Structures are given as structure tokens and as C-alpha cells.
Amino acid sequence: MKITAVKVIVCSPGRNFVTLKIETDEGLIGYGDATLNGRELAVASYLTDHVVPCLIGRDAHQIEDIWQYLYKGAYWRRGPVTMSAIGAVDMALWDIKAKAANMPLYQLLGGRSRSRVLVYAHANGLDIAQTVEEVLRHREMGFEAIRAQSGVPGLEKVYGVAKGQRFYEPADSALPTEHDWSSEKYLRHAPQLFEAVRDAVGPDVHLLHDVHHRLTPIEAGRLGKDLEPYRLFWLEDATPAENQAAFRLIRQATLTPLAVGEVFNSIWDCKQLIEEQLIDYIRATLTHAGGITGLRRIADFASLYQVRTGCHGPTDLSPVCMGAALHFDTWVPNFGIQEYMMHDELMMAVFPHDYRFEAGYLYCGESPGHGVSIDEKLAAKYPYKPAYLPVNRLKHDGTLVSW
Ligand code: CS2
Ligand code: MG
């Protein structure tokens, strides 16, 4: 089965998405998500200028060989732009292979390991009271796992909290906006937030929290320890993870489970974290970690160390990634949880899909492939719009820190 045409579709139905469409001489079409928030056009150009010409005429069935060709063959390995491009190609080829087999994708991966996919929602509030209210609202919607983020007294804007929007969109401006930060204020506030949230929801709801890479290892250890009474499901990105050994210090300080990996794009980014059992959940997902082929390697390796998956699932990955991730989640033996930030109605209309949410769980569809495509006519009505993630500066002197 030969690849005959490959198209890169950039659209912005509320936010930017990059979608890859691969066509074959047997009439089968596959879709992949190549969205890299704030750097969308770099991946689109990488695909159009450097990858697409190499794909035409290749056998669409040779997924592994094409993966190696794009990974090793480029000479320049890894990195978010390259791996998002490879991720999209890989996702589209698995879509095609599953369609050729006339099976839902999870069947090709090895079949169903579970009946449904546990997901966590985002509850964001400007203060503790509003966050508690949001957590309870999500509980009523049926969620069994909820991430709680709150504004911090004395800080203007804080990660995860947006004023008056139904859907939180971090890429909020045509040029990066500036947020301010104080680890001291945050470290005082976060335990108070979780005391209130745990008190309101009781013991049975899984609670999660994202630190978004903002603390030093010793501060992260302190936070994990202070949050222990509230029994979090996980504490995410407590410190930047380029230095994987930094997590040894956090581990020594706390029994709060740790999750890392939404910015990772290969197994090499998390090898030590996994091998030394410094984390409990690996957050990499299909688009940024080289597709099914890349993520499967990470998950299999993680399973040796009882590290479970917790795939990144923000709105800045398209429903194509979510659809494919749900097939992955349905199969992967060491599944932990799936993030579900929820796309709005327009985004869901641009990407026809067969997955569905019901009472705290997502269900992948049974149609052949990964079950998500793109309505190109509708997508064309929403052209690319520059949008960037904010940057973060220390409140007292303006030093640039992790956002
Ligand atoms: C976040 C993301 O989902 C998460 O846990 O950390 O929303 C992240 O900020 C965005 O994906 C950045 O593009
Ligand atoms: Mg995160």
C-alpha cells in the first residue's frame, strides 16, 4: 500500500492545531496530530519541507521502518519539533493500518486491557472558595479524578487560572504575556487549598495538582511533604526534569506520588526517572513523544518499574491525539489515568470523532482506525492565528523563571 499524498492542515477553531493527512493508493486515509503549542508553524514547515517529500511512494504498512527513517535518517535526533512531526506521521500510519485491518486501533496494539479509560478534569478558581466550587461542579459531572489549581493571594496571574472563560487556554496572546511568581507565597497557599478541597469532597475523589516546573527540588520536597495529609493522586512537574537526578531529593522528602513528562519527547528524557523509580506516572503522550511507536517503547520500559501512564491531554493537543491516546490507554497494561481538558463544541465539530465521555470515563470508539478525522471545509474557515504561552517572572525583581 503506497503513500500517494500527504497534506499538512493548519487551522485555528478557537486555538491552533496542525493536522497531518496521509492518503494511500488503496483509498485509505490516516490522520495524525502535530500540534506543538506556540511553535505550530515550525512543525508544519518541518513536515511540509522535509518529511512529506520523503513519504511519497513509501509502503504505508512499514510503520517501524518509516519511524526509524525519520528518527535516525535525519541525523539530528529528538527535540519537540522533530518528534511531533514523527508523532503525527506515526499516528496517521497506525490509523491507516487499523483501517486496512478493519479494526479499531486498540485491537492491533494487543486488544482491550480495560473496559474504559479513567480521566481527570481541571478545576480552576481565582481563590480557594472558587476552586472548591469548581471541584464540586466537576464531581457532579461524574469525574472521579480532579486536578485543582487556584490563584495565589498577592500574585496577579497564576498557571491554570483564567478569568471568566469556560475553557482555560494558556496560549492567551499574539505575543507572550507576563505572569508574576513567588514560590514562598505559593508554598504557603497550596496546602491550604488542598485542606479545603479534601474537606469538601471527602476521601473518595482522586485529587491532582500541577506545579508546572516552578519549584526547586528542595521546595518541591517540602510541598510534597506538606500535601501528604490530603493524599494526592499525583503532584505534577514539581521541578524541571532536565536534571533527572534532582528527583532523588524530592523522593527522599515525600511519599506524595509524582508525575512528570508532558514536555518529554523520547525515552531518553525519562530513562533515569523511571529506572531509579523517581516518579510514579509518566505523562508523555503520542503527539510529542513520537506517536504510538515512540510512546509504546516508553510505556513498556516504565512497566518494568511499576511506573504507570498518565498521558498529557490538554486542549493544545487536537482531538486526533486524544482519539489515538484513548486506543493506547485501552490497551496499555500499565495504564494510570488520562488527562481530559475538554475541547469546546467548535473544536469537536472540526474534528469528527467517535470517542465519548460518560460519568468520569472516556470510551474509545469501535470504528476502524483511531476514530478521529478532520472536516477540512470547516477547518478552512479558521486560519492560523499567532498565539503564545505566557512567560513567568519573579514578583520582587523580574527574574525570568519557569512558567
Ligand atoms: C498542562 C498543560 O495539561 C497540563 O498539565 O501543564 O496545559 C500545558 O501548560 C500546556 O500543554 C502547554 O502547552
Ligand atoms: Mg502539566
**Has 159 been annotated as catalytic?**
yes
Radius of gyration of the CA atoms of the chain, in A: 20
How far apart are the CA of 148 and the centre of ligand 1, in A? 14
**Alpha-carbon separation of residue 138 from 125, 144, 174, 232, 382 (angstroms):** 13, 9, 31, 17, 30
- The pLDDT, as a whole number, for residue 164 is 60
For residue 163, is pLDDT > 70?
no
pLDDT in tens, 308-363: 999 999 999 999 999 999 999 999 999 999 999 999 999 999 999 999 999 999 99
Residue pair 92/30 in contact (Cβ under 8 Å)? The answer is yes
CA-closest residue to ligand 1 atom 8: 314
What tens digit of pLDDT does each residue of 31-57 get? 999 999 999 999 999 999 999 999 999
Can you tell me which atom of ligand 1 is nearest the CA of 314? 3
User: Ligand 1 atom 2: the closest Cα is on which residue?
Assistant: 314
Task: Tell me the residue length of the chain.
Answer: 403
Distance CA 309, CA 312 (A): 9
Atom of ligand 1 nearest to the CA of 37: 13
384 counts as catalytic: no
Q: Which of 122, 138, 179, 212 is catalytic?
A: 212
**Domains of the chain and any CATH numbers:** 3-104 (3.30.390.10), 108-367 (3.20.20.120)
Q: How many CA atoms lie within 13 A of 300 on its CB side?
A: 8
Closest-CA residue to 33 (of 329, 315, 259, 386): 315
* Model confidence pLDDT, tens digit, residues 201-230: 999 999 999 999 999 999 999 999 999 999
| Buried/exposed code over 240-268 (b: 16+ C-beta within 10 A; e: otherwise) | bbeebebbebbbebbebbbbbbbbbbbbe
What whole-number distance in Å separates Cα of residue 72 and Cα of residue 65?
10
